Chain A
Amino acid sequence: MFADEPPENLVLPGDTLPIPLPAPTAKGAAMKVGPGLAHIPPDTIIPVIAGELNVDEKKRMIWVESDGKRYTPHLHDPVIAIINRSSSDFYHCTIPHSRSTTALLPHLAFENATKKTRPQLNPGCVVYARISLASKHMDPELECFDAATSKAGGFGELKGGMLFDVSLGMARRLLGDGKKLRQLKIRQGLVRAEGETGKKVKGAMCSGLEVVEELGQRLGFEIAVGRNGKVWVDSEDVRTTLCCGRCIVESEFLTGEEQRRLVREKIKEFGL
């Protein structure tokens, strides 16, 4: 994401914020203080992690974008977890790259699951799940369906394929935060959109998804990204899966154009 130049609003823990807080639009309107920031009453906000400070004036949000390797569970995050064992009502899972030991996945938290029809998962199975409970003092809980619609919505057991490790920032980017961030920057005039000519404008950010777009045009594969820094890829053969996985892992610090080139080279290398 920062391939072109260092971010402008770099903050370190304990810094005073380099930019003024977004002005209140209406009286009593709340402001959202996102990850990486701590609120010290009455009106001080300090960063608690190092990263790039982002402000969205429109939505009145402020947060720090940073990269790391340890995942802290947050509500509604999609994660890739591994089943450890099963007890009477729960599957006990591990969320890779996270500090907490186990996460609980209720047997009934699947689409159309009843006592009799619940999926039988063995230790070592991989599931794509969403965090339904995240608290500082308790083990997180997972669910494999949308509680409102009781549809799976893409969650569930991941069969076959391979897991690849990426950094947390990369995982967020793959899940589409990069695109949002880029739109925000364009709106703020920090970067200009890539011109219609396709020529790269200085400072233009890539969404970070170029690698997946390019792969999607050339190969057929399935992908699931967990916010905990795991990417699951599956395709019809080992070679394709490996090629996709390698491309994604290696594209972390590349610009959009470089990512596309990397994909083309890799595909040639794997002889696909």
Chain B
Amino acid sequence: MPREPEYSNNEKAFVLEAIQQGLRVDGRQLDEFRKVDISFGEEFGLTDIKLGRTRVIVRVSAEVTKPYPDQPFEGIFSITTELGPMASPAFEVGRSTEQEVLLARLIEKAIRRSNAIDQESLCIVAGQKCWSVRADVHFLDHDGALVDASCIAVVAALTHFRRPDVSVEGEKVTIHTLTERVPVPLSILHLPICVCQISKAGGMAIEAVILMSCATQALLVVRQVTELLMNKLEEDQEKRVRRDNLLKASAENVRRA
């Protein structure tokens, strides 16, 4: 069974010595974030993220289903992650490692449990019909920082995604195709970009001051990433408008303060 490659003594010694001299093996500063590259696919909800050499593709899709009986007013939102052998030879198909479970839980915590997506807005007819939004995370290349990469990717894909518009007349539900009516974006309450999620399961104690300085640094990075994401989204939107010869149509209601 292939395993995660172990690092040799030479590498361990070298990395430690380099860090003492303030050098990192990949040429970054000690506190520098990896280079982020975001691109969107032809369809809505397809995002490709490169974080250094790690590469993640997320596909968001939606279908109409019956809501869970205990949450009749809420839609369904699920994230599936699978670490396949494409990412690294250490991963196998169908055998989930501890790392994979931890990773899935972290992403789940960061996005689903932080209520990033307004699940009530996914409800069509209470107790009968709702949207089931699903984000499939595919890891194409594994070079560390999988949590960061997948979080950014899922958030980007969710903001990029548009679902078909729906109109309800009494009991009759009509789903309009993408050409018939302008598709609507998901209602996203906040963008949980997780750069430095603190997940500490045991280990050494950390001083509060260090923790605070880490958090401030993380905030800076998050701002940069969010800005990049917004710029890219806008760029993509413009490209679409030009390509499809659309007017800047919008299904949003005018909101008055």
- Name the CB-closest residue of A to B17: A238
* B11 touching A163, Cβ below 8 Å: yes
Whether B69 sits at the interface, judged by CB under 8 Å, is no
Interface band, chain B: 20 to 34
Report chain A residues within 8 Å CB of B15.
162
Q: Does B2 lie at the interface of the complex (its beta carbon under 8 Å from any beta carbon of A)? A: yes
Q: Is the CB of A161 within 8 A of B6?
A: no
Give Cα A125 to B18, complex, Å: 19
User: How close is A269's CB to chain B, nearest CB, in angstroms?
Assistant: 9
- Chain B residues with Cβ below 8 Å from A158 are 10
Q: Are B14 and A124 closer than 8 Å at their CB atoms?
A: no
With known contacts A161-B10, A163-B8, A101–B2 Cβ distance under 8 A? yes
Q: Are B8 and A239 in contact (CB under 8 A)?
A: no
Whether A84 touches B9, Cβ cut-off 8 Å, given contacts A70-B89, A161-B14, A162-B14, is no
Stretch at the interface among B19-27, B75-83, B196-204, B227-235: B19-27
Interface of chain B, helix or strand or loop or mixed?
A: loop
A122: chain B residues at CB < 8 Å are: 9
Q: Is residue B254 contacting chain A, with contact meaning CB distance below 8 A?
A: no
Whether A239 contacts B23 in the complex (CB less than 8 A), given A70-B89, A99-B89, A101-B1, comes out as yes
Task: Kindly list chain A residues whose C-beta atoms are within 8 Å of the C-beta of B170.
Answer: none
Given the complex, which residues of B lie within 8 Å of A124, measured CB to CB?
6-10, 12
CB neighbours of A238 from chain B (8 A): 14, 17-18, 21, 23
Chain A CB within 10 Å — which of B1, B6, B12 has the most? B6
The residue of chain A having its C-beta at the shortest distance from the C-beta of B19 within the complex is A238
* Complexed CA–CA distance, A99 and B1 (Å): 9
A245 CA to B11 CA in the complex, in Å? 12
Determine the distance from Cα of A163 to Cα of B5 in the docked complex, in whole angstroms: 13
A96 in the interface (beta carbon within 8 A): yes
Nearest CB in chain A: distance from B17 CB, A: 5
**From A82, A97, A159, A239, contact of B6 by CB (8 A):** A82
Is A207 part of the contact surface with B, judged by Cβ < 8 Å? Answer: no
Complex Cα gap A37–B1 (Å): 28
Chain B residues, Cβ within 8 Å of A232? 10
Which residue on B lies nearest to A69, using beta carbons?
B141
| Docked complex Cα distance between A94 and B12 (Å) | 16
**Could you tell me if B10 and A239 are in contact, using CB atoms closer than 8 angstroms?**
no
**Once the chains bind, are B2 and A125 in contact (CB under 8 Å)?**
no
Question: Are A239 and B89 in contact, with the CB atoms below 8 A?
Answer: no
Closest A residue to B14 by beta carbon equals A162
Q: In residues 92-133 of chain A, which contact B (Cβ within 8 Å)? A: 94, 96-99, 101, 122, 124-126
Say whether A160 contacts B23, CB under 8 Å: no
Which of B2, B11, B13 is close to A99, meaning CB atoms less than 8 Å apart?
Answer: B2
CB neighbours of B18 from chain A (8 A):
238, 242
Q: Please, which residues of chain A bring their CB within 8 A of the CB of B3?
A: 101
List residues of chain A with CB within 8 A of the CB of B7: 124
The reply to whether the CB of A241 lies closer than 8 angstroms to some CB of chain B is yes
Q: In this complex, what residue of A is CB-closest to B27?
A: A246
CB neighbours of B14 from chain A (8 A): 160-162, 238, 241
Instruction: Enumerate chain A interface residues (CB-CB to B < 8 A).
Output: 70, 82, 84, 94, 96-99, 101, 122, 124-126, 158-163, 232, 238-239, 241-242, 245-246
